[in-house]
Amino acid sequence: MKTYKGCKIPEELYYDIENQVWYKIEENGLVRVGATDIGQTRAGKMVNVRIKPPGKHVPKGKPIASLESGKWTGPIPAVIEGEIVERNERLFDEPELINEDPYGEGWIAIIKPTNLERDLKDLVTGDIAFEKMKEYIEREGVECKG
């Protein structure tokens, strides 16, 4: 895992840089979704989470979930279209897991992708993702706790 200005950036994930959302392709072909370390840092302490229920189809560009902190409310848009197969029920009682462990216990949902190959073209990963994250951190003036 790489870090920049205290912000953790796992290289194996796919990223929607502007919305600060990560996607992890699981071995079974499903895709886990969450907010990045940078995104949760900018939003502040999470106080409420709404996640679409399992069985719900989420079109590309529509929200999978919405997050609310003391200073920000916003959607987690789907870059990868698909059906929600699982949501992190713990977040309803412990929304701060997104702040404490954004790439682990703080995951948001798991999606069965409709057309993964097509949608991955709209995301970045590896060294390219790291460079784009650095640009985003500089542009937005983000400093993570690390």
- List domains and CATH numbers for the chain: 2-140 (2.40.50.100)
Q: How many CB atoms lie within 10 A of CB 37?
A: 28
Can you give the pTM of this predicted structure?
0.96
Give me the tens of pLDDT residue by residue for the chain, a chain 146 residues long: 999 999 999 999 999 999 999 999 999 999 999 999 999 999 999 999 999 999 999 999 999 999 999 888 999 999 999 999 999 999 999 999 999 999 999 999 999 999 999 999 999 999 999 999 999 999 999 999 86
pLDDT of res. 146: 66
pLDDT of res. 71: 86
Do 66 and 76 form a contact (C-beta atoms < 8 A)? yes
